[in-house]
Structure 1
């Protein structure tokens, strides 16, 4: 089994949350030679496929092929399987895009600590660093890093916090209070 980089995992996870498993747009900051290298490797592994773009639906272009035609990138069933997402589940979830797509994609991988963290932050009462540490066995600095790095920067989620007299600092996903995805 091929070990995926963080970038490859992010591309496939985002693709699984988009209609038609579109892999574009790529993560912010991934451009030029680095983008070509990442996509080239994923194509070689069979995780990404280059297909004709439907310009009527304004699908993003990977490259132009001339005469007003171009190609886009989609995640293949092998790509979805590589990140632990059943392709049938991904197709079913494509119809449920009212919630933030990245949250749905992360929730599709039950049992991961990131999915557990997201679920805890989606609860109405939110979660403290100590509660998350107890549930995940992560160190406090790792939790803060996951919130600021994985959730805020990579997935683009808004995490709020407030200090409560009885519990201390409580973290929640903004806009997802009480909307737990299971």
Structure 2
């Protein structure tokens, strides 16, 4: 059985209550060398991981990278299980890992929402047509198109592609270079 310090336990328990299991901000009173020592140990043991935070998301940062972005901390599944918690991050509420780099960006996509269903449909190899999206979500066609262009493309920055298909109409999909929700 792994023995956690009080500080490590507090960090992991707080992370379990936050969206995307963010470990930041750290508990009050934990700063400087003590914070660095605790976090470094937790990263080495696989209980926390560093994730690139996009500047537009305004997430609390662990450290700055100097290129306008920063690094935040996220509790991992093994870390959360040490304190008897299940991760709030599931397939659709987690870290987007960019396929062409090691950078990651956090987004808040709640599981069970229509937006999560839409992303899941677009990640299928054959994508999804507007009629399939309308049937699955009970949206109007213009709402489905608006969710794709406004919600996914503009707000989340996902590279959604579309193509005409004779049998299915316009088919939308997240391309091969699209971030994968893990």
TM-score, normalised to structure 2, is 0.49
Structure in which a larger fraction of residues adopt helix: 1
TM-score, normalised to structure 1, is 0.49
Structure in which a larger fraction of residues adopt strand: 2
